Chain A
């Protein structure tokens, strides 16, 4: 039986040759992402913005009357609602914001939910309430804070681990690659204005995990080759390591991708944003392990001495061991 080979044997692609232009492009993309996040902003769902989200199905209709709903709810006096198709054509999610200070009127969210649902139930016979989320400004503020802490803590802890397991240059490289992944994912969410919820934070943490997976595999091979080929120039050695692990990188990204894509198309609508985020992150993460994490090692001056003590150090140690110093 002839087995499939996605990547031919002994590839010798000069990845690192283009490291400066690619790195410049990456920096540009990071800057663009943050510019988008700051100017367009993230489309916060109720988790982070507070307010009310009602999900409903129009069981007898082929298509939900989105435009009509928007007008009707706007007349109820809760500001401009966000009405979106959600999953099937006849399913919608309706979002309204509430005044930040819910403690002043703690029943505000409750009252708004009741008014909207009752109005729609009266207007449409086939309105089926699938659920609602109701988050006060206080709780959403806490969610924003913990989400930020979780991301920062995860990045810091992982960078620290890599530093301990490898060398500080590797830790910095990995951290920068992670920053790149997180930035670009946020940028995508700002660009497409996809709803940004707690689930997306989970998605980003998953991306961090898998992007690191790649980075570690490449780093592990670099470490191995550094010990093996002590005289090889670093860019060449990095290219060799990336090429040697290329088959694995392609294969793993592909298995993750083909596992995720059915979930994207056939999975529950409420998971779409999260799975889309992870899928995007998969590409970004794979790219960053090759073009962000590896070149950093050249610039930060990793040498084989980082893992094998130099002769003078070895001599020193031997002297100590013999009690000569």
Chain B
């Protein structure tokens, strides 16, 4: 038990040294000494609650994805049937109840219609996207499959995450963390951000831009009451518009979406000097925009952003250059924000901020300082108590404690974990609890001596008999720590990380290392009695 071969000692010292070395870059970063760039520099990250910054949890409204899918399918069915040779006439199109149903004028066309719709039903992926059923011989019903909807939500979240990343990059924020979480959530963490409002405004803007023809047949009185004529829908004017409070009826289909843009910049209208956003379509979008404007000269069309009408100008002449200007009572800031949002693409789905935590950098720095002071005082008291109680064995425990703190920091740096505010409490707890192993061992040695065992036998027995309780206690603590890590979030996880890693390092230092030192001392000094 007390026999330590040289190779074993070398091995233990090597592990200790490596772990302590890994703590150096993190420790030096608090001072002005620079760690040489050429060497690897594992670092303990500071959590947002210590470094200052914002944590934002965004959630997508997945029902929107399903609604959008249904709308796309409707447009697709109409186009497919119209373009069929010869054309297949359909009527009574409805999207009620989350499914698309329509009636064929000529029931004998049913097989041809099915044939034409097959590619859209099967989709492009591995899963079947729609189920097709026929009722009464002439009504076709398309129901979205669960797998298809899930796939669509997943795709939407993927591209939403990408859009969020682009927008945050546009702000020039350093080291943002953007992670998808669960089915419909995105976590954004931005360190050191002073003003999260701009970021939140940017992430909250879906930036779905649409150009739709105004339905001039609609009765103004009906429109203001929210009654849309068949084939039309009603949008309110935006808060920034001069016409806020009133609404516009637009044709539901046949418009253009602003997702074919190659660029968007904030600019000023040469005549009115009002802030505007200039947009450039790609060739496909430009072609369709030119077609829409040239076919409808003299008629008004509405520019709709996120369900609100910015303006509804008349088309004076066909717009063929593939560029357009959007005005709508912007300030420079809001115009700039819209330009960024349009450049980075529209979010395929609305995102709402469901959790936000922001900590100012001053507070974080204060917390670290106060935590360090408390930790220093606590450690000093623990060390004093250990030395006056256990003498030489208390000194061993103290040295082990120093190594324990260093190794804990080193392992945390090596695993690239994050130190949070509760993590500081975890450090203090680890310091208080690590010596428990030494207490158990030393008390046991005292007992064994009292029972009259000789020094070596007493120490040997002390370590052996105490180990059982030490391991059992640490395993139960490990269980509690792992569960805390699994169920906890953010800062609380940081606490669990420190506790769990601290269990390993404290068993290593308080049991294994002290045993090595005690064994060395016993072999060299061969004491007849020990003071304990």
Please report A residues at the B interface, Cβ cutoff 8 Å: 1, 3-6, 9, 55, 102-103, 106-107, 109-110, 114, 128-136, 138-139, 143, 146-147, 149-150, 153-154, 157-158, 161-162, 165, 198-199, 201-202, 205-206, 208-210, 212-213, 216-217, 220-221, 224, 244-245, 247-248, 251-252, 254-263, 265-268, 270-271, 274-275, 278
Contact = CB atoms under 8 A, between A and B. Distances in A.
Given A252-B436, A258-B378, A268-B370, A4 B421 contact: no
Given A106-B352, A202-B492, A255 B479 contact: no
Given A1-B531, A154-B480, 10 more contacts: A4-B385, A4-B389, A6-B389, A103-B61, A135-B354, A150-B483, A165-B472, A199-B492, A199-B495, A209-B480
B496 A267 contact: no
Contacts of B487: 146-147, 149-150, 153
B27 interface: no
A114 B197 CA distance: 9
A181 B228 CA distance: 64
Contacts of A262: 373-375, 377-378, 381
Given A199-B491, A252-B436, A263-B374, A205 B480 contact: yes
Given A150-B488, A275-B425, A254 B359 contact: no
A102 B370 contact: no
Ranked 6 nearest A-B pairs via Cβ? A259-B432, A150-B487, A106-B352, A262-B377, A268-B367, A256-B432
**Interface secondary structure of A, over-half rule:** helix
B453 interface: no
B523 interface: no
A153 B389 contact: no
A193 B496 CA distance: 26
Contacts of B473: 212-213, 216-217
B527 to A, nearest CB: 14
Nearest to B48: A131
B478 to A, nearest CB: 9
B362 A130 contact: yes
A9 B532 CA distance: 12
B407 interface: no
Nearest to B389: A4
Interface string B165-190: 00000000000000000000000000
A153 B483 contact: yes
Contact of A3 (B200, B362, B390): B390
A3 B488 contact: no
Given A217-B473, A261-B378, A255 B439 contact: yes
B425 A278 contact: yes
A201 B492 CA distance: 9
Given A244-B447, A256-B433, A260-B429, A130 B360 contact: yes
A266 B356 contact: no
A22 B528 CA distance: 45
A162 B488 contact: no
Interface string B327-364: 00000000000000000000000001111111110110
B323 interface: no
A280 to B, nearest CB: 14
B13 to A, nearest CB: 27
Contacts of A165: 472
**Residue among B353, B374, B499 with most chain A CB within 10 A:** B374
Given A198-B489, A208-B480, A263-B374, A107 B204 contact: yes
B43 interface: no
23 contacts: A3-B388, A55-B363, A102-B352, A130-B360, A130-B362, A132-B358, A134-B353, A139-B354, A146-B489, A198-B491, A199-B492, A202-B422, A206-B429, A213-B433, A216-B469, A216-B476, A221-B469, A248-B439, A255-B382, A261-B378, A268-B370, A268-B421, A268-B424
Given A110-B200, A216-B476, A258 B381 contact: yes
A255 B385 contact: yes
A3 B532 contact: yes
B388 A128 contact: no
A213 B379 contact: no
B492 to A, nearest CB: 5
B322 interface: no
Interface of B: 49, 57, 59, 61, 197, 200, 204, 352-360, 362-363, 366-367, 370-371, 373-375, 377-379, 381-382, 385-386, 388-391, 421-422, 424-425, 428-429, 431-433, 435-436, 439-440, 443, 446-447, 450, 465, 468-469, 472-473, 475-477, 479-481, 483-484, 486-489, 491-492, 495-496, 499, 531-532
B484 A205 contact: yes
A267 B426 CA distance: 13
Contacts of B357: 131-134
B489 A154 contact: no
Contacts of B378: 258-263
Nearest to B204: A107
Contacts of A150: 483-484, 486-488
Nearest to B435: A255
Contacts of A154: 479-480, 483-484
B502 to A, nearest CB: 11
B21 to A, nearest CB: 26
B242 to A, nearest CB: 23
A143 B477 contact: no
B385 A3 contact: no
A201 B440 CA distance: 28
Contacts of B353: 106, 109-110, 134, 136
A154 B435 CA distance: 24
A210 B433 contact: yes
Nearest to A143: B489
Nearest to A9: B450
Which one of B352, B353, B366, B492 has the highest number of Cβ atoms from chain A below 10 Å of its Cβ?
B492
A202 B389 contact: no
B433 to A, nearest CB: 6
Given A161-B475, A258-B382, A259-B432, A202 B484 contact: yes
A259 B431 contact: yes
A244 B363 CA distance: 47
A275 B391 CA distance: 30
Contacts of A260: 378, 428-429, 432
Given A130-B363, A165-B472, A213-B477, A157 B385 contact: no
Contact of B359 (A6, A131, A274): A131
Contact of B355 (A136, A209, A268): A136
B477 A212 contact: yes
B422 A271 contact: yes
A60 to B, nearest CB: 15
B442 to A, nearest CB: 9
A158 B378 CA distance: 29
A202 B370 contact: no
Contacts of A102: 352, 354
B355 A198 contact: no
Nearest to A7: B443
B355 A135 contact: yes
A138 B495 CA distance: 24
Contacts of B488: 146, 150, 198, 201-202
